[in-house]
Structure 1
Amino acid sequence: MDNINKFDFSITCFEYCKNEKKLFKGLKDPETPRYLKKFLGHIKKTGSYYESLNKLISCACNAKYKILFSHMEVHRLEPTMTVQSIISWKNIIKRFITDNGRYENFLEAYLNDDKKIDNIRHVYGENVQLDSADIRQTVKLYAEMNILANALINEGDKNRAFIATSKRCSYLCELYIRFARTKGYDIYISGTYRKIYHLWKLLDVNDDIFYNKSLSYILKKLNQIIKDETLNLTEEIASSDSETGSVGSNENSTSHNVNKEFRSIFKEI
């Protein structure tokens, strides 16, 4: 896969979607297996890059938009990726649950949830090394953050700006944009969704004060999320324990509570 030309790959996926329209209609069918929906969704998304490029070229070639496109400047921004260590899951949780007994109950409830374990493997490996401090991940600077850093913040440009990307902004991007607005940046985006991704990279900007304050702002919001969610789950565990005599005696109920209250926050941090 590493040797495949990404442009050609997008064209192939686009052609496949165009030729197999009936198959892709099944994405909305509840009878379609989940794994097939996920696979076809990836194919559709990859093909959409070439489709979007075609639409942009067609629009630019339209005489109606000649004046608009003749005044457009194109700047290429290189993608930014960094390999860095991540904080252990145990370290994070113990900041909010300091009592060892409560922590062990919390850990047991978490480990008994198969869905959560599957999700956490993306962050802490197949062996679920929740107490390891030696795990490294490749984090990536999101497209909207790349534009924000290099075209606006590093240039000190506080004029009105609309950042359009192929999908809505993630929660961490939204938080950063909120902070930038408090510093006078007039930024607009097409939409957001409240998902947190563990491979998100913080912007490297020239202004050290701006960098440090933005980091503090985001960490404060994330800490509050973790605090609220750990509190919700520990209260559910305590309630279950008082009713049944032990956390583990009603595994299905505990698993349900975890799914209901925890909302996959540690999949994403």
Structure 2
Amino acid sequence: MNLAGRTILVTGGARGIGRELTRQLVERGAQVVAVGRDYGQLAALEAEHRGRVHPWTVDLANPDAVDAFIGEVTDRHPALSVVINNAGVQTLTDFLGADPHSLRPAVRREVAVNLDAVIALSTGLLPHLRRQPSAAIVNVSTGLALAPKQSAPVYCATKAGVRTFTRALRYQCQDAAPDVRVIDAVMALVDTDMTHGRGRGKISASQAAAAVLDGMRRGGDEIYVGRTKLLRTIMRLSPTLGYRVLRNG
């Protein structure tokens, strides 16, 4: 897939991996519709890439805001042909050590951003994408969708849901809209604000973004980033080992 000249939507486009995706897509000749909650960060990104980045402030946890965005974005950007659902939030939750009621707002936000918004954007923009000569939906999951860690059960569950949804949507597109590729980008542990102070062996956001874009260029249905290639092999050979390795990850 040649990314030059395309209009590409990136959620979470002003921070972490999303910011690097935006920057590298611009370097590769694309126009980027960058979606995020923080107007200031989006404005700074627009100023940095004048005329190439088109910011859009959307709270992906708000279904009404997501629906309104879906209804407007293709009117403003009729050449949109790639959607990268990158935005995600993770809350460390101990349901036995804390009051589940007090955790519920954060948990619901995780589900809304990580899963509901991905489904809404993928399916809501699909009628437009299937009219393009070639198009793609890239949903960012994680190695934790293969083997969860105990400290973030809802995050892991939503990413497992994204992975399963992506595969099933791919089946539908292969049968009825073969010009729309549906790709699962399985992310490794990346050094971002979300992982600050946690984990070892992180890759940079720049490396993560480059791996996703290189995978899109090469083709294929799944992009395994960093150590997730090894995790995929472990889960095939010994799922018990994979679960043990990631349990306290």
Q: TM-score normalised by the shorter chain: which range applies? A: under 0.3
Structure whose CA Rg is larger: 1
Whose helix fraction is larger, Structure 1's or Structure 2's? 1
TM score, norm. by length of structure 2: 0.25
Question: Normalising by structure 1, what TM-score?
Answer: 0.23
Instruction: Decide which structure has greater strand share.
Output: 2
